Homo-oligomer: A and B are copies of this chain.
Amino acid sequence: MKNTFGNSISLTLFGESHGAMIGAVLDGLAPGIAINEEFIRSQLDKRRPVGKIGTARHEADVFQIVSGVFEGKTTGTPLTILIPNTAQHSKDYTATRSLARPGHADYTAYAKYHGYEDYRGGGHFSGRVTAALVAAGAILISALREKGIMIGTHIQSCAGIADAAFDDVFADIEKLNSLDFAVLDGGRGEKMKAAIEAAAHEGDSVGGVLETAVYGMPAGVGEPWFDTVEGVLSHALFSVPAVKGVQFGDAFEMVNGKGSAYNDSYYISDEEIKTKTNHNGGVNGGITNGMPIVFRCAVKPTPSIFKAQDTVDFMSKENSVLELKGRHDPAVIHRARIVVDSVTALAVADLLAMRYGTDWLKA
Contacts of A142 in B (CB 8 A): none
Q: What separation, in Å, do the CA atoms of A360 and B218 have in the docked complex?
A: 17
Closest-CB distance, A148 to chain B (whole angstroms): 17
Query: Which of A2, A109, A115, A232 has the largest number of chain B CB atoms within 10 A?
Result: A2
A117: Cβ under 8 A from any B Cβ? yes
A268 is an interface residue with CB less than 8 A from chain B: yes
Contacts of A114 in B (CB 8 A): 31-32, 359, 362
Q: Is the CB of B12 within 8 A of A239?
A: no
With A31-B117, A117-B75, A284-B105 in contact, do A226 and B4 touch (Cβ < 8 Å)? yes
CB distance from A165 to the nearest CB of B (A): 16
A91 within 8 A of B: no
Interface size class of chain A, counting residues whose CB lies under 8 Å from the partner chain? 35 or more
Q: Judge whether A273 and B16 touch: CB under 8 Å.
A: no
Within 83-126 of A, Cβ neighbours of B (below 8 Å) are at 100, 102-105, 107-109, 111-118, 123-125
Q: How many copies does the complex hold?
A: 4
Type the 1/0 row for A205-247, where 1 means its CB is closer than 8 Å to any CB of B.
1111100000000111111111110111011111100011111
Q: What's the least CB distance linking A273 to chain B, in Å?
A: 6
Find chain B residues with CB under 8 A from A259 CB.
Answer: 103, 199, 204-207, 300-305
A168 CB-CB contact with B under 8 Å:
no
> How far, in whole Å, are A206 and B112 apart by their CA atoms in the complex?
42
For A107, A207, A247, A300, the residue with the greatest tally of chain B CB atoms inside 10 Å of its CB is A300
The residue that A312 contacts in the complex, of B22, B79, B266, with Cβ under 8 A, is: B266
Give 6 nearest A-B pairs by CB, closest first: A105-B285, A245-B251, A245-B247, A111-B220, A205-B259, A244-B251
